Amino acid sequence: MRIAIINGPNLNLLGKRETDIYGNQSFDSYLLELQSKYPGVELSYFQSNVEGELINEIQKIGFAYDGIILNPAGYTHTSVALGDAIAAIKCPVIEVHISNVHAREEFRKLSHVSGKSVGSIFGLGLKGYELALRWLIDK
**Can residue 101 be called a binding residue for ligand DQA (CB under 6 A)?**
yes
**Can residue 126 be called a binding residue for ligand DQA (CB under 6 A)?**
no
CB of 47 to ligand DQA, least distance (A): 12
**Can residue 97 be called a binding residue for ligand DQA (CB under 6 A)?**
yes
**Can residue 74 be called a binding residue for ligand DQA (CB under 6 A)?**
yes
CB of 40 to ligand DQA, least distance (A): 26
**27 with 5: CB under 8 angstroms?**
no
124-127's contacts with Cβ under 8 Å and 24+ in sequence apart are: 124/98, 125/23, 125/98, 126/14, 126/23, 126/25, 126/27, 126/30, 126/98
Distance CA 34, CA 19 (A): 21
Q: Is 38 a catalytic residue?
A: no
Catalytic residue among 30, 65, 75, 97: 97
Catalytic residue among 22, 30, 75, 129: 22
**Can residue 69 be called a binding residue for ligand DQA (CB under 6 A)?**
no
**9 with 24: CB under 8 angstroms?**
no
Q: What contacts 111, CB < 8 A, 6 or more positions away?
A: 76, 77, 95, 101, 120
Binding to ligand DQA (CB under 6 A): which residues in 1-20? 10
**75 with 97: CB under 8 angstroms?**
no
Binding to ligand DQA (CB under 6 A): which residues in 104-123? 108
Q: Is 22 a catalytic residue?
A: yes
Residue ranges that bind ligand DQA, judged by CB under 6 A: 10, 71, 73-74, 76, 97-99, 101, 108
Q: Which residues are catalytic?
A: 22, 97
